[in-house]
Amino acid sequence: AQRIAQVGSFELDLVGGHQTGSAEMYRLFGLERGRELALETVKSLIHPDDRPRAEALLTRVVDDPAPYEIHLRFVHPDGAVRTLLCRGEGIRDASGRVVRLVGTNQDITDRQRVQEEAARLASIVEFSHDAIFSVTEDGSVVAWNAGAERLFGYPAVDILGQHHSRLLPVDIPDNWPRWREQLTTGSVINDHETVRLRRDGQRVPVALTVSPIRDDAGTVSGASVI
C-alpha cells in the first residue's frame, strides 16, 4: 500500500545556519532524532544533481523572501533516494534583513512514481500502432489514440463524446450491453473478431480486446478497447 505522505515543518536561521525541525523532518531526511539539523548537514543530503537549484534558491531567498515551491531529491544515509516537495518563505527582522526561512517538506516520491508511470503508459497508448480507445458505461467514447484515428479515419475531435455504435455497420449487433455485464465480473473479452465501419464507409475486419476500467471505488465505469 502507498504510504500516506507526511509533512514536516522547519525553521532555518540564515545567519547562524542552525535549523530546527519537527519529528517528521528527521524521517524525511533519514536521520535519527536528536541529530543536529545544521544547514550543511541538510545540504549534504541533497542529491548532487539538485544542489545547484537548492543553492540558487537560498541565494534568491536572501534577497527576495517571497514564498517558494521546489522539488528536491534527498539521499538518505542508507542510500535511499526520496523526492521532497519543499515549500517555504523568508522572514525579515526589524531592519528588513531576511534572517530566517520557515516552511514545510513533504515526501512525494510515491506520488511522483505513479504520475511518471501514468505518463509512460499514456505515451505508450498514444503512439501504439493499435487502435486504442475507451468508452463510458453507456458506450460513449472518451479517449481515442492516434492508432484509432488511422484505422477508423475519425480525428479525436470528431469522435469524442459520440456513441461507439457510430463504428458499427447496420448489420452488426451492438454487443456492448452484454459485454458490460461481463466486465462487471472482471471478465475480459479477448480477440473478438467482428467488423467495424470507417468514416469513409469502408468495412474493416477487426479483432477486439475489451477490458474493464474501474473508478477509485472499484466499480466498473467503462471499458478500454484495443
Q: Has residue 165 got a pLDDT over 90? A: yes
Lookup result for grid cell 466499480: 219
Distance CA 195, CA 152 (A): 12
Number of residues that make up the chain = 226
CB 84 within 8 A of CB 74: yes
Q: What is the pTM of this model?
A: 0.56
Q: What distance in Å separates the CA atoms of residue 40 and residue 9, rounded to the nearest whole number?
A: 18
CA distance 147 to 143: 12
CA 152, 153, 159, 165 torsion-angle sign: negative
The three cell numbers locating residue 91: 522572514
pLDDT exceeds cutoff 80 at 3: no
Q: What does the CA dihedral 144, 150, 155, 160 come to, rounded to 10 degrees?
A: -30
The confidence score (pLDDT) of residue 67 equals: 94
Cα distances (angstroms) measured from residue 67 to each of 44, 71, 161, 192 = 23, 14, 41, 56
> Sorting pLDDT into bands at 50, 70 and 90, what band is 204?
very high
- For the cut 80, the answer to whether the pLDDT of residue 14 exceeds it is yes
Per-residue pLDDT reduced to its tens digit, 173-194: 999 989 988 998 888 999 999 9
Give the amino acid at 89.
Answer: E
In this predicted structure, the answer to whether residue 2 has a pLDDT above a threshold of 50 is no
* pLDDT of residue 29 exceeding 60: yes
The sign of the torsion formed by the CA atoms of 76, 81, 87, 91 equals positive
Average per-residue pLDDT for the chain: 88
Query: pLDDT over 70 for what percent of the chain?
Result: 96
Quote the pLDDT of residue 7. 87
Residue in 174, 102, 77, 101 with CA at minimum distance from that of residue 135: 174
